Structure 1
Amino acid sequence: MSYFSFLRENARWLSASYLLAVFSGFGQTFFISLSGGDIRAEFGLSHGELGLLYMLATLGSALTLPYVGKSLDHFPVRWIAAVVMSGLALFCLAMAGAFSVWMVAFAFYGLRLCGQGMMTHTSVTAAGRWFSARRGRAVSIAMLGFPTAEALFPICFVLLNNTFGWRGAWTVSALVLVMVAMPVLLTLLARDRVPNAAEVASAKPEGRQWTRAEVLRDPRFWLASLGVNAPAFIGTAIFFHQVYLVELRGWTLELFASSFLFMASGVVCASLIIGPLIDRFSARQLLPFTLVPLTVACLVLAGFHAPLSAFIFMSLVGISNGFNGTLVGALWPEVYGTRHMGAVRAVAFSLMVFASAAGPGLIGWLIDLGIAFDLQVIAMGLYCLGFCLVLALTSRAYHSASLS
């Protein structure tokens, strides 16, 4: 089946997965962090204090996600999507009306749980479950929702912020979720997708269906997670402190916001390329290469300070995110089966959220200590380089197990 035939025949469900990823943007760091400067100024917080607040809120969402995420194994996607989008809209309003530091923390928690956590979890899990023979392509299309949000949301927030202030921008966000996102998505999700007989027959055999407890006892899962969650740690840390980065480099916030378009382009290109490659080879065979673009991106950001480096860095981050996100979306059902995928992926997502929580807090603390930002970015790049080797060994272990 060609790519266009696949899109045409499954437009309803692919669009739903894609739009869930798009509207998760309201809970992603690249959107939330644009309020960082205003929140620090209004509540008198330092970079480290705001980063710690965000870290604790995100850690709370990571601890909650395994419990609420397994609901996808028991309830229709439409019900889950309705509840999550309603929650996300309410937390946008909570941010708009925040009158204390603790209310900001509460809003952070809800935005991360509903947006980055459950919206992303629902999008990728549904795509992986609905499509077996073409899982790589389905997940790659769902992943295109993230660059769409990355390209549009930061610029829209800056415009709304300049017009209505940061609180007004969050109010508009809630209205968009209720008046646009929910009606469209609930219509698309009115009918669930069941793979037909031909798809089931052509799908690669999944073999053993791992439970969540079994996955948690598998050392390969933890090694792979330490590698594939590096982009969440690094990307969130840098994006959350983008105001500091912009001031450090002498750039403008508008310039850095415009570079998200380049990141989005990188995600699109990488996602469209990696999806068919996963279907042809396998996610586990491609696992060792996932951190290569991010390694180069870190070295570029640390070594070059001209405005052009922002666009090169963001393009490479986009390629990394497109590669890594699509690959991880296909990897877990490929190696652990789909029967308990809601519970398994909820743990995997909670680890990703944990990584994204640790980044802003740790980097903010190091900034307050006076540790050079370039030195921190170099350390991130070296971590990625080392885990390229670790993921190669993990890939071999997965492959050997599949042959036994």
Structure 2
Amino acid sequence: MPIKRHPNLPFAPSKFPIFYGWMAMIAATIGIICSIPGQTIGVSVFTDYLIDALQLSRDALSSAYLIGTAMSSLFLTKAGKVYDKFGARFTAILAACTLAFTLLLFSISDQMSGSISSMTNISFSTISFVLVSALFFMLRFSGQGVLTLASRNMLMKWFNKRRGLANSISSGIQSFGFAVAPLFVASIIHSTNWSAAYLIMAAIIVAFIIFAYIFFRDNPEECGLIPDGKVIEEKKKKAFKDSNKQFTLKEAKKTPIFWVYALAIAFSAFFITGFTFNVVSIFEISGYSEQKALSIFIPASLISIVAALAGNVISDYMPLKRILIIYLIGCMLSCIGLSCLSHWSGYYILILGNGLMGGLFSVLASITWPRFFGQDHLGAISGLAMSLMVFGSAIAPLFFSRIFTLTGSYQLAGIAGGVLVIILLLFSLKLNNPQED
């Protein structure tokens, strides 16, 4: 029995003064930006404060992050099925409510640990480790996982032939938002404290919940509209359309191309998470300041914006395999930059690599699944892909942290990442769109 979603409440998108897909694009973009507290780039600013307040070592906090994030990855495929059933608005609001509540708990996590420790006579650090593992699970599942999934898939459904254009605009705004977020959050912490900063972010998410109810709509068809707002004439230039065949999750998992693209996209989550989670430490041992470390996201975001704009636009006319290859070259540059960061050239190679990787990630993570496998089971298929991304981001902080603990540097992390990228690059050369098989 179909679920009634009430798309015309509180207003009918069909009566919006412009094609509502553009409003859906803005809403989806805001949704993804509001996921920042659950993304590694939002967590990283609090890393050293949590280590001190919760009396945990860097390895212990990384382990808690791994546990919480890995656990969240186990439920994202099911969350994708919930999205397929209930739509973007319900899923996004549910995720945002969980995220706001989690941020509230984070703000008092040290007090909670102290109270539980006093009542149970269990050491403070043991209680804080268990508590923060659970909070990381809620944070990552709701923010990085479900809110991002619902927002991104909503955007994809509102456009077909203009999907690349719409995603390019959204990606550019996202890149800028993610780039300035660390400095913005750090400024809040410095002007108040880390606990108050969590409360302020929770209040922002509460405001987003109201926004999502007003503006989120799952797809144009349920609103009496069609993708792109009108039928667009075929261009002389070849344009890539949606899938004719609608793959189920089971069918998609049997295709090699799903795993290569999913693992390639997951690499970005792995590398960026490991790098961002330890960014201050990575730059400190290379002779850079905290300000220099947090500022690296600004120039990388400028490159990312250009890469996202170009990649999304040409994705309407170019096979995704070519974009994947350029993306993997960006991944390789990031690995090289990390390995030689102590040399002045490493800093700029890292910026270039992170920019290319981040910009083209937004193209591949959004456009791959509807183009290759269709929209009927988009939530479930993208949910599995996101599970791999989240699992990659789960193991990264501890992987980077252990390498630093054992070797005194992060160079080996870059080398290991480079080997994995080469393997993915070799496999990617042999795969084509499953719609053409």
Q: Calculate the TM-score normalised by the size of structure 1.
A: 0.90
Aligned residue in 2 for 1:62 = 73
Aligned residue in 2 for 1:4 = none
Gaps of 5+ in 2: 1-17, 114-127, 235-239
Q: Residues 222-256 of structure 1: CA distance to partner in whole angstroms, max 9, x if unpaired?
A: 23222221111111111111122132122221221
Q: Residues 14-50 of structure 1: CA distance to partner in whole angstroms, max 9, x if unpaired?
A: 1011111111111110110111112112233222221
- The number of equivalent residue pairs is 392
Q: SS of the counterpart of 2:263?
A: helix
| Cα separation, 1, equivalents of 2:161 and 2:91 | 25
Gaps of 5+ in 1: 1-7
| Cα separation, 2, equivalents of 1:304 and 1:34 | 21
Aligned sequence identity (%): 24
Contact 2:157/2:219 (8 A) holds in 1 = no
Going from structure 1 to structure 2, the CA distance change for 1:205 and 1:146 (only over 3 Å counts) comes to closer
| Cα separation, 2, equivalents of 1:371 and 1:184 | 46
Aligned residue in 1 for 2:46 = 35
> Is 2:124 the partner of 1:91?
no
| Cα separation, 2, equivalents of 1:336 and 1:17 | 21
Q: Calculate the TM-score normalised by the size of structure 2.
A: 0.84
> Is 2:361 the partner of 1:324?
yes
Aligned residue in 1 for 2:123 = none
Over 6 Å off, 4+ runs: none
| Cα separation, 1, equivalents of 2:259 and 2:330 | 22
Aligned residue in 2 for 1:388 = 425
Going from structure 1 to structure 2, the CA distance change for 1:193 and 1:148 (only over 3 Å counts) comes to farther
Contact 2:321/2:428 (8 A) holds in 1 = no
Contact 2:60/2:129 (8 A) holds in 1 = no
In structure 2, which of residues 213, 216, 224 is the aligned counterpart of residue 186 of structure 1?
A: 213
Aligned residue in 2 for 1:173 = 201
Contact 2:340/2:411 (8 A) holds in 1 = yes
Aligned residue in 2 for 1:18 = 29
Going from structure 1 to structure 2, the CA distance change for 1:209 and 1:190 (only over 3 Å counts) comes to closer
1:332 Cα shift? 1.1
Aligned residue in 2 for 1:47 = 58
Aligned residue in 2 for 1:339 = 376
1:192 Cα shift? 4.9
Going from structure 1 to structure 2, the CA distance change for 1:208 and 1:367 (only over 3 Å counts) comes to same
1:358 Cα shift? 1.3
Task: Write 1 or 2 for the structure with the bigger share of helix.
Answer: 1
Contact 1:151/1:261 (8 A) holds in 2 = yes
Q: Residues 302-329 of structure 1: CA distance to partner in whole angstroms, max 9, x if unpaired?
A: 2242577445523430221111221231
Going from structure 1 to structure 2, the CA distance change for 1:16 and 1:205 (only over 3 Å counts) comes to closer
Give the AA of the match of 1:29: T
Contact 1:57/1:106 (8 A) holds in 2 = yes
Going from structure 1 to structure 2, the CA distance change for 1:308 and 1:228 (only over 3 Å counts) comes to same
Contact 2:160/2:242 (8 A) holds in 1 = no
In structure 1, which of residues 247, 250, 268 is the aligned counterpart of residue 305 of structure 2?
A: 268
Aligned residue in 1 for 2:317 = 280
Contact 1:21/1:145 (8 A) holds in 2 = no
| Cα separation, 2, equivalents of 1:71 and 1:312 | 41
Going from structure 1 to structure 2, the CA distance change for 1:37 and 1:321 (only over 3 Å counts) comes to same
Matches within 5 A, 1:18-167: 18-98=29-109, 99=113, 100-167=128-195
Going from structure 1 to structure 2, the CA distance change for 1:201 and 1:209 (only over 3 Å counts) comes to farther
Contact 2:103/2:201 (8 A) holds in 1 = yes
